[in-house]
Amino acid sequence: MLTATALNYKIGKYCLLRDVSFQIQPGEFLAILGANGAGKSTLINILSGEKKPSSGNVWLFNKELNEYLPHELAKKRTILQQHNSVQLSFSVEEVLLMGRYPHFKHRPGKFDFIVIEETMEVCGIAHLAKRSYPSLSGGEQQRVQYARILCQIWDQPKSLLLMDEPVAALDPQYQQQTMAIAKAFSTRGFMVIAVLHEINLAAQYADRILMLKGGRKWLDGTPIEVLTPAHIYAIFNTDVDVMINKQTLKPIVIPKQLDLDVGGFNSLLSPISVENTEALT
C-alpha cells in the first residue's frame, strides 16, 4: 500500500506541487493525467524517492519512503523513466541483468537468468538478446529499459511499478503491449502508477485516474467518473466527445476537430482570391 499525504514541492518561489494526497492498494493501476507542467513528472519522481518533497510524506507499506535503505527500496519499487542513455555497448542481456543487481552480490544465480528469460519473452525482445544496446532504435531501447525495470521487481509481489510516459516513443502495437503487461502486473497484486499523455490508454487500462492541474489534485476516480467532456476541457483546454465502448463499458475520448480561419491565419500569404476559392470548391 502506498499513501501520499499533503505533498508539496517548491523550487524557489515556484510551487510545482501543492497539497497532493492519495492512496493506492496492491492490485490497482493508477494513471496520472494532466497538461504539460501540471506536476506529473515531479509527483512520480517523489514517489520513486528520487526527489524529496518540500513537505508531506510518502508511506510505502507503513514505513516512510526515506526510512528505507537504498538497497531495500530497490527490491520494492522501480521506475521507468523517459530518458535512458547508455553509451557503452552493453548487450541487451547485460542491460537486463542490471535489473537484477539488487538481488545478488557478485554473481547472478540461476534464478536471475530465469527471470531475464521470462521477461524477454513477455516483452517480445528475446530476438534482441545478443544485440548491442546503443545499436537499437529508440523504440527498441525503450522496450529493453521496460524489460530491465520489470526484471527488478519480477519476483517481488505487491511492489511498486512507476512509469513516466512509458509509451511515448512506441508503435501502437507496443503501446498496447506495454500497457497490457503493466495491467497484468497490477492484476497479480502489484501497484502500478503511470504518467500518461494518451487519454484513451488510461481509459482502457487504468482502474483509477488521478488528474493534476497546476500542481493540485483536480480529480481522483474511475475512468467513467473522471473522463467527461467538462473535466477534460478543464484540464487540457480541449473540446472532446466522450462515448462508451459498448463491449468493455469503458469511455472513449474523441477530440473535436479544430478549424482555423483559413483566410486570416497567415497575414504574409496573399489573400484568397475568388478564383482560388472557386477552384477549391
Partner 1 sequence: MRKLAIYCLLICSLFLVIFSSLIFGAMHIPIKEVLSILSKYLGLHDANVNNTYEGVIYIIRLPRLLLGLLVGAALGVSGAAIQGIFRNPLAEPGLIGISAGASLMAVIVISLELSLLASLSNLLGYYLLAFGAFVGAGVVAFLVYNIARTDGRANVATMLLAGIAINAFAGALTGLITYLADEQQLRTITFWMLGSLGGATWQTVWSVMPFIALPLIVLPLLGKSLNAFSLGETQASILGLRPNRVKTQVVVLATLAVGASVAVSGIIGFVGLLVPHIVRLAGGVDHRFVLPASALFGALTLTLADVLARNLAAPIELPIGVITALLGSPVFLYILIKEKKKLFN
- Report if residue 117 touches partner 1, rule: CB under 8 A: no
In the bound state with partner 1, the residue whose beta carbon lies nearer, of 161 and 170, is 161
Query: Using N-to-C axis directions, what is the helix angle for 138-153 and 110-123, rounded to 10°?
Result: 140
Could you tell me the smallest distance in angstroms from the CB atom of residue 276 to partner 1? 45
Could you tell me the smallest distance in angstroms from the CB atom of residue 132 to partner 1? 9
CA distances from 176 to 113, 180, 201, 202, 250 (A): 26, 6, 8, 11, 16
- Report if residue 169 touches partner 1, rule: CB under 8 A: no
In the list 102, 166, 215, 251, the residue contacting partner 1 (rule: CB under 8 A) is 102
- Report if residue 106 touches partner 1, rule: CB under 8 A: yes
132 vs 128: CA distance, rounded Å: 8
In the list 22, 59, 90, 218, the residue contacting partner 1 (rule: CB under 8 A) is 90
In the list 70, 138, 264, 271, the residue contacting partner 1 (rule: CB under 8 A) is 70
In the list 98, 126, 224, 234, the residue contacting partner 1 (rule: CB under 8 A) is 98
Q: Which phi and psi angles does 269 have, rounded to 5°?
A: -80, 150
> Which residue, chain included where needed, has cell 504539460?
36
Could you tell me the smallest distance in angstroms from the CB atom of residue 50 to partner 1? 6
Which residues have CB under 8 Å from 123's CB, separation 6+? 143, 146, 147, 150, 177, 181
β-strand partners of 195: 32, 164
In the bound state with partner 1, the residue whose beta carbon lies nearer, of 12 and 70, is 70
Q: Any alpha helices (H) in the chain, and if so which ranges?
A: 40-47, 70-73, 92-99, 110-123, 138-153, 172-187, 199-205, 223-226, 229-236, 274-280
- Report if residue 166 touches partner 1, rule: CB under 8 A: no
- Report if residue 35 touches partner 1, rule: CB under 8 A: no
In the list 7, 16, 74, 167, the residue contacting partner 1 (rule: CB under 8 A) is 74
> Which residue, chain included where needed, has cell 502506498?
2
In the list 23, 89, 248, 276, the residue contacting partner 1 (rule: CB under 8 A) is 89
In the bound state with partner 1, the residue whose beta carbon lies nearer, of 74 and 226, is 74
Residues in the chain: 281
Shortest CA distance to 150 belongs to which of 98, 210, 213?
98
- Report if residue 155 touches partner 1, rule: CB under 8 A: no
Binding site for partner 1 (CB under 8 A): 48, 50, 70-75, 78-79, 81, 84-91, 94-95, 98-99, 101-102, 106, 134, 149, 152
